[in-house]
Amino acid sequence: MELIFLGTGGAQPTLERSTTCICLVKDGEILMFDAGEGAQISYLKSNLGWNKKMKIFVTHLHGDHCIGVLGFLQTMTLQNRTEPIEIYGPKGIEELIAANTKIMNFGLSFPVLITLVNEGMVVDEEKYQVRACEAEHSVPTFSFLFEEKEKPGTFYPEKANSLGVPKGELWHKLQQGEEVVIENKSIKPSEVTGPKVPGKKIGISGDTRPTKKLEEFFKNCDYLVFDSTFSDDLKEKAVESCHSTAKEAATFAKNVNVSNLILTHFSARYKDEKVLLDEAKTVHDSVIAAKDQLTVKIE
């Protein structure tokens, strides 16, 4: 898996930073979290491809998080996309897309499936799930948590051979966690594999203040991308605008045992994010500041 940051700025884009857009790439599928203005331009630079399986999760209906969805849909049509696209967002997302599509009179070359988000399970796939939690911002906002499901442990060919399992399809089934039958004898995956491997947990905060509710939601994340709009000397402004400071993000991550913290959504006042990164590093041991087109390997 990879996290690819297409936009890392706050409400106002700069020459160095586009507005918010983050892609999680897993097994050829793209899970996009937010799409601010011009997201399709940043996406084009990433070379991710226009016809892949895709889901878009919108945290809230502020322009720097959702307006890019419209341009994205139009560009994908011009690129002759045929695959359906799934969009998940708060109340109003369907109206936003339907009204603008009608007003601008552009047809789509692919189906768009829109689902309103509520707290709890949003997507439950074979290998992962995505859940939502209410965040604290100036409009209704959700944070998202991607949870990879447990993966089968290491496969031991010698154990399979000793049990008489022929190499090929049956080995593959055991590796995928399926039970097989050889001469009326059932063989369980646990007989030929090591312990199951826990899946990765990746949190995307969207715009928010740190809250107790989110502490429980993001507990023990392997990676957490968190709102870090301001430095701590502007904490009062962060509170007023329902954003977080880099130090608050780091304190939050430390308190909930996050392994790796990624700062993003930087105010345009910061020409260099180093001041925010240094602030966070005084609190948390593993912190990076996102940049546009940054790729983080999920290991």
Catalytic member of 34, 64, 227, 292: 64
Amino acid in the structure at residue 192: V
DSSP assignment of 162-213? HTTPPTTHHHHHHHTT--EEETTEEE-GGGTB-SPBPPPEEEE--S----HH
Smallest Cα–Cα separation from 186: which of 167, 196, 173, 199? 173
119 DSSP 8-state letter? S
Q: Is 292 a catalytic residue?
A: no
Nearest-angstrom CA–CA distance, 180 and 15? 57
For strand 54-57 and strand 294-297, is the pairing parallel, antiparallel, or unpaired?
unpaired
Amino acid in the structure at residue 96: L
Nearest-angstrom CA–CA distance, 142 and 126? 23
Enzyme catalytic residues:
64
